[in-house]
Structure 1
Amino acid sequence: MRRLPPLGAIEAFVQVARLGSVKAAANELALSAPALSRRVQNLERFIGRSLFDRRHQTIVTNADGERLLAQIAPVLDQLSDAVEAMTSGTEVLRLRLGVLPLFASQRLFPRLGELRAAHPELHLDIDTAGHGIARLGEGLDAVIALAREIDPLLYGHRLDRNSVYVIGARRLTEGPDPVVRPQQLATLTALVHRDMADTFTAWRQAAGLGDMEPLAIDHFDSGPLMLEAAAQGLGVAFMHESHFADAADPRLVRLFDIDVESPYSYWFVCRPRALRQKPVRLFHDWLIGALEKGTEV
């Protein structure tokens, strides 16, 4: 049997590669930074090549490190799950799920009790950091993403179709100069999510406003903060109908009765081979089944 490097060295490498920090990885593994660095160096000596580009205060995987991470990180995760299942005395299935905060709070978490009742053995590790699709197989098993379309090399199932709403503070429609005409957007700040960068352009074209520009465009990477900013009167948010309906915030109103199909949808995304993993398959089937039965998720 071919000799393998120590498991501790492999674990140290994966943590540093995922976190991009020796200090953070050392904290995660309850090691000192020098001890963790020695483990990584031992692995590099075993392999016979460097796995990281070491800069002044940062450490990032090089091409060899990325290739090794893609191959061994999923195996290490499966080993961890197997040990956890054996030591707990019951089968524990763990899904590492990437999901945007607004979808999680509005549409997923209100239904997690139903998921737990159906599959008590299934546990979710929730990751709300960005760029989830890019991290599939490297810490994430599956992602609920907001996108126009999905890379055909990945498995993607569209979860919804939506309309773009212009959402603003209720007081904008009150007072001596209420906002009632789309042309008045020229005096307002548009709030746009970075993952939905074309919502304003799509709405503007559908509304027949040509090249009209708002007073400014402020970009967010958080849906909840966008809604709060709109409620505070800091601008008008270009978001989905479902975001507005699920928020149920009396401070907010939909501005302008103009129907515009959104270029974006929520998708369930994973690598094709991940569907063979039981946690991914159980969650996928539960999610799709809920949608087919008309249960809003």
Structure 2
Amino acid sequence: MAHRRLPPLRALEAFMRIVRLGSARAAASELALSPSALSRRIGNLEDFVGKKLFTRAHQSMQLSDEGRAFFNAVAPHMDALALAVESQSENLRLIRLHLGVLPLFGGQRLFPRLAELRKLHPRLHLDIDTGPHLLDRVGDTLDAAIVLMREPDPAYHAVRLDHNRVHAICSHDLVAEIGQAPDIQALSKQTFLIHNELPDSFVAWKEALGLVGLEPAAIDHYDSGQLILEAAAQGLGIAIMHDDHFKRASDKRLARLFEETPVESPYSYWFICRPRALEQRPVRLFHDWLVDAGL
């Protein structure tokens, strides 16, 4: 059987880094190469495949159409090769991901699926952090985080995990008391429960229902979505939360107020990491699983 020629693996590694980091400069820094040495590696790979993988202009390298097609064809096999080597390597240690997660997302969406991740990548273990200021700690004490926010800073690599609608959620007794027609006088006597991560959701909800002038009796702020839902179930107020939170809670004590009125949320859940962190194996494994799993 004839042996197929393999491409120069160091050149292939350089190519993959440039594409995934989105920058030749960042790739050179990661590989501890000079720009000219990186360029030579790419030149060797282009000679091997007989295609121009990048266009070069003004000291920058832009992926060509042929380069994009090459990446799409090769990337799955590179990942499969890494997994194959990992599965046959008895001396590999556990790999750890330091992940920041909001507790409600963790309880409702992440933990019910983590057994799938463990089966797929048994060496990958997660250190979970539900502390404050998750975004500020990404790239420092956290490898990545799942946060609830508007549009993230373009300095991060970000994947939007959902689109949401805002709902007013409360006990059945409170729904019966208020009724299903928005009444600003009735609502002004109520307490509203607002999550610290969703400050503008109440504004969006009031605007959509034509209640811009609503001033409730009180607004209570929480840093835990789970506790907001429990407070609402206990009749302590009206929680302004995402419809997805309501559905996944499956709490028969809760009901939606004015449920026929759709209100688009200003916020989504996002997976966030620093771009160069995608080259770290635990981040890449979790990122790819999260996207494929459709959490």
Q: How does 1:216-255 map to 2 (within 5 A)?
A: 216-255=218-257
Q: Deviations over 1:130-181 (max 9, x none)?
A: 211100122100000000110111111110000001000111133xx44323
Match for residue 266 of structure 2? Answer: 263
Match for residue 150 of structure 1? Answer: 152
- Aligned-residue Cα RMSD (Å) equals 1.2
Match for residue 179 of structure 1? Answer: 179
Picking from 284, 287, 291, the partner of 2:287 is: 284
Once the two structures are TM-superposed, the CA of residue 215 in structure 1 deviates from its matched residue by 1.4
Question: Partner amino acid for 1:285?
Answer: D
SS in 2 for 1:182: coil
Q: Do structure 1's residue 110 and structure 2's residue 120 form an aligned pair? A: no
Taking the aligned partners of 2:239 and 2:144, their CA distance within structure 1 comes to 28
Taking the aligned partners of 1:200 and 1:100, their CA distance within structure 2 comes to 20
Once the two structures are TM-superposed, the CA of residue 104 in structure 1 deviates from its matched residue by 0.1
Q: Do structure 1's residue 98 and structure 2's residue 100 form an aligned pair? A: yes
SS in 2 for 1:217: strand
Question: Partner amino acid for 1:265?
Answer: S
- Cα 1:249–1:145 change in 2 (3 A) is same
SS in 2 for 1:108: helix
Match for residue 139 of structure 2? Answer: 137
SS in 1 for 2:197: helix
Once the two structures are TM-superposed, the CA of residue 89 in structure 1 deviates from its matched residue by 4.3
Q: Deviations over 1:160-208 (max 9, x none)?
A: 000001000111133xx44323223212111000110011000000111
Match for residue 275 of structure 1? Answer: 278
Question: Partner amino acid for 1:139?
Answer: T
SS in 2 for 1:196: coil
Tell whether the 8 Å contact from 2:104 to 2:224 is kept in structure 1 after alignment. yes
Picking from 196, 202, 206, the partner of 2:208 is: 206
Identity of aligned residues (%): 57
Match for residue 6 of structure 1? Answer: none
TM-score by length of 2: 0.67
TM-score by length of 1: 0.67
Question: Partner amino acid for 1:180?
Answer: Q
Q: Deviations over 1:209-242 (max 9, x none)?
A: 1211111111100000000010111101000011
Question: Partner amino acid for 2:113?
Answer: R
Number of matched pairs: 203
Taking the aligned partners of 1:200 and 1:228, their CA distance within structure 2 comes to 19
Taking the aligned partners of 2:157 and 2:278, their CA distance within structure 1 comes to 9
Match for residue 163 of structure 2? Answer: 161
Taking the aligned partners of 2:277 and 2:187, their CA distance within structure 1 comes to 45
Tell whether the 8 Å contact from 2:203 to 2:212 is kept in structure 1 after alignment. no
Once the two structures are TM-superposed, the CA of residue 91 in structure 1 deviates from its matched residue by 2.8
Question: Partner amino acid for 1:237?
Answer: A
Question: Partner amino acid for 2:179?
Answer: V
SS in 2 for 1:191: strand
SS in 2 for 1:230: helix
Q: How does 1:20-39 map to 2 (within 5 A)?
A: none
Taking the aligned partners of 1:125 and 1:249, their CA distance within structure 2 comes to 29
Question: Partner amino acid for 2:269?
Answer: Y
Taking the aligned partners of 2:137 and 2:126, their CA distance within structure 1 comes to 16
Taking the aligned partners of 1:173 and 1:198, their CA distance within structure 2 comes to 23
Q: Which runs of 5+ in 2 are unaligned?
A: 1-89
